[in-house]
Each structure stands twice: as structure tokens, then as C-alpha cells.
Amino acid sequence: MDIQPKDIIKNFTNKNAKLVNERPDIAQSQAGTENESSKDYTGRVVFEFFQNAIDKAESNIWLELTENEFIISNDGEAFSIEEQSIEKYKKSDFHALNTIHNSNKRAGESVGNKGVGFKSCWNVSNHVTIESIKDEKVWGFDLFNPVTVKNFYENENHNIREALKKAGEGNVPSFYFPKYFASDKNNLCDGRKTKVTIYLIDSKAREEIEKELDDFEKTKFFFLNQLKNKQDKNITIHIRGNSISSKDKNWNIIDLKSNHKFHNELEDLMESRKLESYANIPFDPNIAIAFPFDNIEKVDSRFYTYLPTKVECGFNVLIHADFALDNARVSIPDNKYNNKILEISAKMLVSELLHNDKYHNYQSFSKFLIPKHRDDKFSKLVWNELIKDDNLTSILQKVFTKDRIFPEKSYRLIFDVISNFTIPRGYGEWKDEYYNKVYNDTIKYFCNENIFIVLNFRT
């Protein structure tokens, strides 16, 4: 007969109580590490807990904000809890969660796999509950930060109370002493299998979650289908009365693995991956670029690794790749592997703009040519690809033909492109030298008898 969650949690906490009594210095060190790690995830609670939910979800994820609680639920595989042994190499969800820097997830199959994102909750809460189902019974446990004696009843948790008295408040990490409780099936309705409730500290914490949800709703979720176990699934995200699908027919997505034209680049990327010791990215990385249909609306152009980073990419597209991100998964460190991704992404972007004829009819095509900033690394890579082999001139010849007449704003946009790629005049630089340089470095690529970008030229 399987050991039940209550007994597993009791065994787990008894071991930790013994550890605290024998080595309080270890508990104090891990409590400090946990609190420092949570600071790295400030402003990321919604995304971090969504990552955990998407890794499990089958079809649905619910994000709910009440007056005092933020609740995240999913309908996927139940939260696992089994007694650990030497033979069981992979940790259960319970044991992976109740540690730090130790994940049971695999790169390429899950969004978060560093084992620390859950700790982001301690920026807005001091009490979290997790509820799930095992053998048709709903069970749960509480986590507290800080962990105090008053969190535990004297008659049931004598060992824990004595350990906490010895260690002192704030000197034990939250995950040492999860507190079991028997839950109710009514708490897991509409197909929910796991539910996480974050009890918010105060109104300021609620405002923080509300702000994060505002940003979250701007996210595009179709790159989640790049995950190996989500490729054929449509995940529906239920949030504040709205339902958002992970699939979106309003975008055209190309990816490196499916494009035989970039076979050599794929091999280069995989070779670059082999040379790096990154545990949190797959050994078969991919790159995908999403182009909005019609290209009318201005896109919040960002780099994604399944979910958005804080790094903007420009060019009115979204770019996903298996980047080696920082711990908080929001910035892209400067290293050879990430730079190889940027280099290949620039090639894919320019090639698609050159060869995909359907984009050439877009009235706002020129948005695909406008960088976030001319001096950032990716913009420079794209510009080099555009001027290589006169690619930019060839693209403009296909878009701005004599027979195709766009609205006036379409022609204004192409001059925005010129402006964005024009280097400012340096202090003391002679005008004739500067304007010659501007022509040779930028404007000449827009000057061709088969490029019709001046309205008056047509009459």
C-alpha cells in the first residue's frame, strides 16, 4: 500500500527537525539563500507560477485574484508526492519544491527548470497553500515564511516546535516544514487537479499582482507550443473573466528546425550548444519568429524563451529561442551561444522578408525594417544581413513596385526606416563628409529606379 501524503510529509519534517537540531547553521544558511533568491524574482510572481502551471497543464490554467488571494490552478497531472529513495532518481513534485536550486523538470519540456521560481511568492506573501489529489483524495500543505512556532499546534508538531525554538525565527527556510492538511474535492472544481493559493500580505501586494496581471495579459502564448510536450495542445488561460488561447491564427510563425534552408545554421547552433555547460537549455535548441498578419498594429517586440523576456528585439516581430537566460529569465547575457542565436535570427528574419511574397502586400511592411535602436547588437546584425548581397534593395523592389500603390503613411514609414538606420552627425564632422557617409552607408540601398517610394515620382 502506498504511503499517504500525511505520512510522507511527517517523515520529511521529522528529518528536517533533526537536521535543525544537529546543524542549525545549515538551516540558517539555506534560509538566507531562499530570501536572497526570492529578491531576484521581484515583480515576477505571476509569470513564475504560470510557468509551473503550464509545465503540468493539459488544457486549462486558471489565474484568479480576490481581495486577499492570488490563486493559480491547472487541469494537468496531479502534484506528485512519493517517498524518496536511492532507487528513485527523479524527485517528486513535493520533494523538488521543498528544496532550493533543485528541479525535477527537463529543459525543452518545461518553461521553468531552475528550481527557485516558486520562492518569488515571498515577495508578496508569508503563507502559501498547495492542494492536489492522490488516490481520489484531495490533500494539501501550507508553507510559511518566516516559519514560526505559532504556525504549528503543540500537540501535533512537537519536534518542529522544538527545532524552531532552537533555531530562532527567520533562521529556517520555508520548505523545511510544510504543514499537511486534508482538503476537500470542492476546492478542485471544473477539472482542476492542482491549486496554489498565495495569501497576499497587504493591499500593496495585491496592487503588485494586479500590475503583473496587466503585463501578463499582453503576452502572446503561442511559443509555448514549441515545448516538446505541448506541440499539439491548445492551452486555454482563464484570467479575469477572459479566455486566452495558446494558439493564435493571427500570426505566421517560422522556426529554424522546420526550415531546410537553414540546415547549416541549425548544425552551427547545436554545435555551439555542445560547447557550453548550460543545464537549463535543451541540447537541440530552436529559434522561431512570429510575424503579425497585415502588420498594422505596433507589436510589443520582445525576445521570448517560451514566455517574454524584458529584452526588446524591434522589427515588429516576436522572436523565440532557447536562450541561456539569467536566473530570473528576463535578460539575455552576452555569451557566444546567445550571440549565435542572435546571428541566426537576423538571417532568418531577412530571408523571410525577402522571399515570402505575402508580406510584400502589407501596407505597413516597413515596420518589419524598423529597429528598436540602431546601436543594439541585434539591430546591427539585421542591418548587416540587409545590406549583404543587396538584400535590402531586393526587398524594397519587391514591395514598392510601380504597380502597387499604398496609402501615404506606408511611404512615410520607409523614411522612418532610413532615419532609424542613419548615424547622427559627429561633433565637428564636416557636412560634406557626413552626408557622403550617410549616402554610402544607408541611403544608397533605397535608391534604385525600380523602387517607388516617392509618391510624386508616380505622376
Task: Report all structural domains of the chain as residue ranges with CATH numbers, in order of start.
Answer: 5-217 (3.30.565), 251-458 (no CATH)
Query: What is the spatial distance between Cα 351 and Cα 256, in angstroms, rounded to a whole number?
Result: 12
Q: Is the pLDDT higher at 186 or at 199?
A: 199
Question: What's the CA gap between 148 and 168, in Å, rounded?
Answer: 8
What the block records as the C-alpha cell of 187 is 476546492
pLDDT range class, residue 384, cuts 50, 70, 90:
very high
pLDDT tens readout for residues 419-434: 999 999 888 899 999 9
DSSP 8-state class, residue 423:
P
d(CA 408, CA 136): 65
Regarding predicted confidence, which is higher, 231 or 418? Answer: 418
User: Where is 252: in which H helix or E strand?
Assistant: strand 251-255
- Distance, C-alpha 142 to centroid of its chain: 27
The size of the chain, in residues, is: 459
Best-predicted range by mean pLDDT (32-36, 117-121, 257-261, 309-313): 309-313
pLDDT band at 103 (very low <50, low <70, confident <90, very high): low
User: 0.85 exceeded by the pTM?
Assistant: yes
Angle between helices 45-56 and 203-216 (to 10 degrees): 60
Mean pLDDT of 166-181: 90
39: left (phi over 0), alpha (psi -120 to 50) or beta: alpha
- Tell whether the model's pLDDT for residue 456 goes beyond 80: no
- pLDDT given at position 459: 44
